[in-house]
Amino acid sequence: MLNEKDIRIIEILMNDARTPYTRIADELGVTEAAIRKRVKNLEEKGIIKKYTIEVDHSKLGYGIVSQTGIDTEPDKFLEVANKLKDFDFVKSIHITSGDHMIMAEIWAKDGEELTEIISKKIGGLEGVRRICPAIVLERVK
Amino acid sequence: MLNEKDIRIIEILMNDARTPYTRIADELGVTEAAIRKRVKNLEEKGIIKKYTIEVDHSKLGYGIVSQTGIDTEPDKFLEVANKLKDFDFVKSIHITSGDHMIMAEIWAKDGEELTEIISKKIGGLEGVRRICPAIVLERVK
Amino acid sequence: MLNEKDIRIIEILMNDARTPYTRIADELGVTEAAIRKRVKNLEEKGIIKKYTIEVDHSKLGYGIVSQTGIDTEPDKFLEVANKLKDFDFVKSIHITSGDHMIMAEIWAKDGEELTEIISKKIGGLEGVRRICPAIVLERVK
Amino acid sequence: MLNEKDIRIIEILMNDARTPYTRIADELGVTEAAIRKRVKNLEEKGIIKKYTIEVDHSKLGYGIVSQTGIDTEPDKFLEVANKLKDFDFVKSIHITSGDHMIMAEIWAKDGEELTEIISKKIGGLEGVRRICPAIVLERVK
Amino acid sequence: MLNEKDIRIIEILMNDARTPYTRIADELGVTEAAIRKRVKNLEEKGIIKKYTIEVDHSKLGYGIVSQTGIDTEPDKFLEVANKLKDFDFVKSIHITSGDHMIMAEIWAKDGEELTEIISKKIGGLEGVRRICPAIVLERVK
Amino acid sequence: MLNEKDIRIIEILMNDARTPYTRIADELGVTEAAIRKRVKNLEEKGIIKKYTIEVDHSKLGYGIVSQTGIDTEPDKFLEVANKLKDFDFVKSIHITSGDHMIMAEIWAKDGEELTEIISKKIGGLEGVRRICPAIVLERVK
Amino acid sequence: MLNEKDIRIIEILMNDARTPYTRIADELGVTEAAIRKRVKNLEEKGIIKKYTIEVDHSKLGYGIVSQTGIDTEPDKFLEVANKLKDFDFVKSIHITSGDHMIMAEIWAKDGEELTEIISKKIGGLEGVRRICPAIVLERVK
Amino acid sequence: MLNEKDIRIIEILMNDARTPYTRIADELGVTEAAIRKRVKNLEEKGIIKKYTIEVDHSKLGYGIVSQTGIDTEPDKFLEVANKLKDFDFVKSIHITSGDHMIMAEIWAKDGEELTEIISKKIGGLEGVRRICPAIVLERVK
């Protein structure tokens, strides 16, 4: 199990993955080497899966972000979910117990591009039945 | 406007935010100093908003992740959305045009903790009308 | 009852309200005075309610058009519908037998402005229970 | 960008597209020629798309107006939307992110004609899955 | 228990309540007195509840018939259902296990009168939360 | 148009279709012959469509009455509605603008018979997509 | 962890909790004492929670079983769920992530009793907003 | 009909099917033989259908219990319901008048196994259209 130091390290890195180990070490009152070891351990156990960046989609020219529910024939949804992975405009895919088995985050330049993506790209995948885009108006957290 | 080099840098950093600039420089056929300058520019313009890590919630002891729709009295939803920000168990909050104005990602140890969070923590906020948790069964991308 | 000539006049004017009467007269094989008399009659009977223009909202700086369903306490919906009339951002209001008793077309600069309109302006009207925006992605006709 | 004079001209013309330029010129304190130039500019930029009339459908003998949601196979909805354009009884078509991808305004003489339109005309288009008519009870704005 | 003769009598009377007993007697091969006795028995047991007429609502000037779902606060629905009985425009009321606990058939002159009925009459009853009118387009049986 | 006397006659007959004309004549202060003439007129104009009886379904051995929504392929619903007419267990059929295009009242002995009717009889009609039974718990009016 | 013998014992007891240990012992090729010890262990660990009987509700005079969704004010649903426990007509209660936070199985004599239970008993609990009964037509397993 | 003693016996056995008859006899003030006779009678009439055990699914390694709505082609649902009976992971199946004709309780190790069950096992049955899992967060009664 994780102890409190590990959890604090994770919180710090989620907030800024570039925080120098020396500063984390100072805060936790341990050596930089101890931090390095703990982070390495978190990476090896797969608790830290990835270092990444968050970007501002509208400044990148994507005017519309859609949380898109996708309904499929029931025996096709894993297949569809896997095919969606290859589209660059699909930023994340979750299988959920909610109104739609597949929830995908899609970025598009504008309404017309989103219409194209839905009708031509996703709508064209075998087994897709219905596509329900919910437009993100604002991200609060 | 961004040129193709900037877009490639963003893709590389989204995939691994720790990629050394020298390696990016090699791939793009420019100097490390050029990469450093471009990244600085992307940060200053707010296109890169944050360096962060992705963690495996189940390995952290969170057995349940819920994409949670939250309905409120119509003049309270921004207020509720802002109060949700302070809860540690709320990992993201979107305002959408979909079935629920507020969509929040919530992490809980198990079904009982999620029940507690919904009834005591979120349910207790003034103006909250209905809470609809969709359990994430699997993350595909 | 309307005869065929009246109906053709209406079609022509719906398509271009500025079509010169002489041209309509030519097409229908009657005098310009006859057209003038018929149009006057259509106006007096209230069949032609208004001469207006259609504008391109995005070129006017409105990036988002929302077909907005508004649910109210049942004895308040006519009152709410009447108050909505005074908002400039509300372009049309229908009472329908569908999922929402009130359907209003709303124009906003972007997602944040729409969020403001929903939470502060419409959400603040007494008796409003729920607001369901459907974003217009494209107008086909 | 538009300045305040342009916006005022648009408002006046939306309210009555036949307002004489001399009266607009008076209100704005400029010459008639200046108004003419500005309107021409608004037309050329495509901001003013069309001069048209609003008619009273019930006085035209159409007893029923329906805001009709139309669901299609996902890769067929643009095709269906385009075919709907050719029907005279379809007065407008929007692609939206709401409960139905296609929303069409339909005019019919009575319930039986609407039933015919739905089952024979629209229901017969390839790819149409479900048709959900919401009857307009009253237009408020 | 009913025997076959009783069931046939009921069918005949449902189809035309004025069928002379002599004609029923002929069809069933019994005396008119036997029919009279059986009908009396069916009335006394409450199997035949009422003799009534079916009318053509549109010819009576009611342009709109609505199958109206009515949602109430859960402890008020029997009270609301009972109050609805007193309205002349309410032609039948069922308590169901479906989307709406109360389903009421309402007759109105036109859309505006239905709007009035919903907002002023039914909407004004204490405990009514939501009113969902489904317009009858055609009666097939 | 109908006058007040006609409307009162209709009300009396809806309440009890067997009310003797002499009694109606007394109430309205006219002769029996006048009533006879007016009723004949109401029948000829098709305002009175049918004389019928209301029966108690549970006393007839039908333990379950279901207001049944039936969804079909859009171009099949008139065909399906017409086929439903031939089933004895279907007591009425409406085409509506509500959640389901076809609403049919069905009588069954018990849950198992209703299950049979839905899966074997109605479910077997070509073009039927979905069947949504709402069980009538009580009839109030 | 459980081994295969434990799992087989559980299956046998779920099917018939009165199966003699000697017969289970024979099937598993162990002594009766070994079975007794294993069952005791399963009871002590809380894996076997209860020995109970399944009864035929209709033969007990309960004509209607309803899987009842209950919506409450969000901060009241645990309280409501706990109060429901005290009603004899409530046979089970689950908290779920589905359309309704509370799902309760209710037994009633007939539709009228269910109507009473919903409006007077459950509808009267503080915080209950909406009650959605789904009638069980048949139990297949 | 059952008398009060029978009903009390049923209650005692539902609570603990292993209660010795001597103890029941004491409580009811009758002989053990009388209890034995009554229980035998309840079994023979099919009122007591089965003696069984309730188990703790999470202690058995099933982390997820889902109340799963299953929609099928209307003429296939009895067939599908019957095929579901053969799956070990399906613990109960009801045919209901609610949102889904088939409601099945499913046990799975975790979200991934449930995803597999839905897409491969249930999704693969002929006639299955849509599968809507509602995750049980807690069992209250």
Q: Which chain G residues in 19-58 lie under 8 Å from chain H, judged by CB atoms?
A: 45-56
* H90 within 8 A of H105, measured Cβ to Cβ: yes
CA distance to H11, H22, H49, H52, per residue, from H39 (Å): 12, 13, 11, 16
- CA–CA separation, A81 vs A84, rounded Å? 5
Q: Does F93 sit within 8 Å of E139, measured CB to CB? A: yes
Distance CA G105, CA G107 (A): 7
Q: Which residues of H touch E97 (CB under 8 A)?
A: 97-98
Mean pLDDT of H95-121: 92
* DSSP helix/strand/coil, C72: strand
Q: Check residue E1 and give its pLDDT.
A: 61
pLDDT at F1: 60
Quick check: C75 and E123 in contact, CB under 8 A?
Answer: yes
Nearest residue of H to residue E96 by CA position?
A: H97
Supply the pLDDT for residue H3. 84
Q: What is the pLDDT of residues C128-141, one digit of tens each?
A: 999 999 999 988 88
Average pLDDT, integer, range C2-14: 90
Q: In chain F, which among 59-88 make CB contacts under 8 A with chain E?
A: 59-61, 67, 69, 81-82, 84-85
The encoded tokens of residue E77 equal 């629905």
Eight-state DSSP code of residue H3: -
Q: Which of D52, D85, D99 is nearest residue C17 as measured by Cβ atoms? A: D52
In the block, tokens 């005869």 appear at C3
Give H92→chain B minimum CA distance, Å: 21
- Burial label for D104, CB within 10 Å (0-12, 13-18, 19+), is buried
pTM over 0.95: no
In which residue ranges of chain A is pLDDT below 70?
A: 1
Q: Which of E17, E60, E69 sits opposite F53 (nearest CB)?
A: E17
Residue D85, min C-alpha distance to chain B (Å): 27
Which of B53, B60, B114, B138 to mutate against chain A (most A CBs within 10 Å)?
A: B53
* Length of chain C in terms of residues written: 141
Q: Do F46 and E67 touch (CB under 8 A)?
A: no
For A113, phi then psi, to 5°, come to: -65, -40
Determine the pLDDT at residue D61: 85
Count of alpha carbons within 13 Å of A128, Cβ hemisphere only? Answer: 27
pLDDT of G32: 96
**What's the confidence (pLDDT) of residue B1?**
60
- Cα distance between residue F118 and residue F68, in whole Å: 9
Cβ partners under 8 Å of residue E137, min gap 6: D111, D112, D114, D115, D133, F95, F96, F97
CA distance E97 to E103: 10
Nearest residue to H80 (alpha-carbon basis) of A50, G134, A74:
A74
Asked whether G37 and G30 are in contact (CB, 8 A), the reply is: no
Q: What residues of chain A lie within 8 A of the CB of G97, using their CB?
A: 97-98
Q: What is the pLDDT of residue C125?
A: 95
The token duo for G26 is: 């024979």
Task: Kindly report the nearest CA distance between residue F39 and chain H, in angstroms.
Answer: 43
**Among B2-11, E114-123, F14-23, F65-74, which is the least confidently predicted range?**
B2-11
Cβ D141 vs Cβ C85: under 8 Å: yes
Kindly report the nearest CA distance between residue D4 and chain F, in angstroms.
44
* D3 pLDDT more than 90: no
All residues of chain B having their beta carbon less than 8 Å from the beta carbon of residue A95 are 136-140
| CB nearest G136 (choices: F63, F111, F138) | F111
Which among D108, D51, D55 has a CA at the least distance from the CA of C10? Answer: D55
SS3 H64: strand
With CB atoms and an 8 Å threshold, state whether F53 touches E50: yes
Touch between chain F and chain A (3+ CB pairs, < 8 Å)?
Answer: no
CA angle G122, G79, B111 (to 5 degrees): 115
Q: Average pLDDT of chain G?
A: 93
Sheet strands (E) in F8-89: 48-55, 64-72
Residue G29 CA to residue G9 CA, distance in Å, equals 12
List C-alpha distances in Å: G30 to C102, D108, G9, G12: 72, 79, 12, 15
Residues of D in contact with E136 (CB under 8 A): 111
Cα separation, G138 vs B74, in Å, equals 41
Q: How far apart are CA E97 and CA E104, in angstroms?
A: 14
Say what the ipTM of the complex is: 0.85
Measured in angstroms, the CA of E34 and the nearest CA of chain H are apart by 36
CA distance D25 to D33: 8
> Residue F37: beta bridge partners?
none
For residue E119, give the nearest of C71, C75, C97 by CB distance.
Answer: C75
What is the Cα–Cα distance from B134 to H133, expressed in whole angstroms?
10
Quote the CA–CA distance of B99 and D40 in Å, as a whole number. 43
Task: Read off the pLDDT of residues E109-126 as tens digits, 9 standing for 90 and up.
Answer: 999 999 999 999 999 999
pLDDT tens readout for residues F107-123: 999 999 999 999 999 99
Give the chains touching H; criterion: ≥3 Cβ pairs < 8 Å: A, B, E, F, G
What is the mean pLDDT of the segment spanning H4-27? 94
DSSP reduced 3-state for B94 = strand
Q: Which residues of F touch D118 (CB under 8 A)?
A: 74, 77, 101
G2-8: average pLDDT: 88
The predicted model gives F67-74 an average pLDDT of: 94
- Unique residue bearing structure tokens 């009459």: E121
Cβ–Cβ under 8 Å, residues C109 and B79: no
Show Cβ contacts of residue F88 under 8 Å, excluding neighbours closer than 6 positions: none
Closest A-chain CA to D73? A129
Judged by DSSP in three states, F16 sits in coil
Per the DSSP assignment, residues forming a β-bridge with G67 are: G105, G134
Residues of E in Cβ contact (< 8 Å) with D135: 111, 135
The secondary structure of E70-130 as a DSSP string is EEE-GGGHHHHHHHHTT-TTEEEEEEESSSSSEEEEEEESSHHHHHHIIIIIITTSTTEEE
Give the gap in angstroms from C-alpha C96 to the nearest C-alpha of chain F. Answer: 11
**Distance (Å, whole) CA A6 – CA A34:** 11
Which of A114, A119, A120 is the best substitution to test chain D (most D C-beta atoms within 10 A)? A119
**G104 neighbourhood in chain E, CB within 8 Å:** none
Distance from C-alpha of F75 to C-alpha of D121, rounded to nearest angstrom: 8
- In degrees, rounded to 5, the angle at the alpha carbon of residue F108 between the alpha carbons of residues F106 and F113 is 120
Q: How far apart are alpha carbons F119 and G140 in whole angstroms?
A: 14
Coil/strand/helix, residue D5: helix
Kindly state the DSSP code that residue H141 receives in the 8-state scheme.
-
Touching partners of D (3+ C-beta pairs < 8 Å): A, B, C, E, F
Strand locations in chain H (E)? 48-55, 64-72, 90-96, 102-108, 128-139
Ordered DSSP codes for D19-32: --HHHHHHHHTS-H
Q: Which run of H or of E encompasses E22?
A: helix E21-28
Which of E4, H135, B98 minimizes the C-alpha distance to C66? B98
pLDDT for the residue B58: 86
Model confidence at H139: pLDDT above 80: yes
Among the partner-chain residues E63, E115, E138, the one whose CB lies closest to the CB of D115 is: E138
Measured CA to CA, the distance from residue E139 to residue F9 in angstroms comes to 24
- pLDDT score for A126: 94
Q: How far is the C-alpha of B51 from the C-alpha of B41, rounded, in Å?
A: 15
- At B91 the three-state DSSP class reads strand
Indicate whether G16 pLDDT > 70: yes
Amino acid code (one letter) for A52: T
* CB atoms closer than 10 angstroms to residue A88: 7
Q: Could you give the C-alpha distances from C39 to B81, C61, E52, in angstroms and in order?
A: 54, 35, 51
DSSP symbols for G98-112: SSSSEEEEEEESSHH
Q: Count chain A–chain C contacts defined by CB atoms under 8 A.
A: 22
Q: Residue D1: pLDDT band by 50, 70, 90 thresholds?
A: low
- Window 118-137 of A: residues touching B by CB (8 A cutoff) are 132-137
Interchain pair B99, A99: CB under 8 A: yes
Contact list, F130 vs chain H (CB under 8 Å): 71, 74
Spatial CA neighbour of G137 closest among H127, A138, F132: F132
Burial of D29 (0-12, 13-18, 19+ CB in 10 A): exposed
Q: What Å distances lie between residue B89 and B52, B133, B139, CA to CA?
A: 17, 14, 18
Residue among H111, H137, H138 whose CB faces B136 most closely: H111
Contact predicate G108/G87, CB 8 Å: no
As a whole number, the mean pLDDT across chain C is 93
pLDDT computed for residue A1 by the predictor: 60
D139: how many CB neighbours lie within 10 A of its CB?
16
How far apart are the C-alpha atoms of H11 and G129, rounded to whole Å?
Answer: 31
Q: How many CB atoms lie within 10 A of CB B131?
A: 25
Query: How confident is the model over G29-85, as pLDDT tens digits?
Result: 999 999 999 999 999 999 999 999 999 988 888 989 999 999 999 999 899 999 999
**D125-140: pLDDT as tens digits:** 999 999 999 999 988 8
Find the closest chain E residue to C97 by CA distance.
E133
Q: Measured between CB atoms, which of F111, F124, F135 is closest to H75?
A: F124
Query: Considering only CB atoms, which chain D residues are within 8 Å of B96?
Result: none
Write the pLDDT tens digit of every residue in B59-86.
Answer: 888 989 999 999 999 999 999 999 999 9
Mean pLDDT, range C82-101, rounded to an integer? 93
Cα–Cα dist D139/D107, whole Å: 14
Rounded CA-CA distance B43/B37 in Å is 10
Q: How confident is the model at residue G114 (pLDDT cuts 50, 70, 90)?
A: very high
Shortest CB distance from F138 goes to which of G63, G112, G133? G112
Interchain CB contact of H95 with E (< 8 Å): no
Question: Residue H32 and residue H21: Cα distance in Å, rounded?
Answer: 6
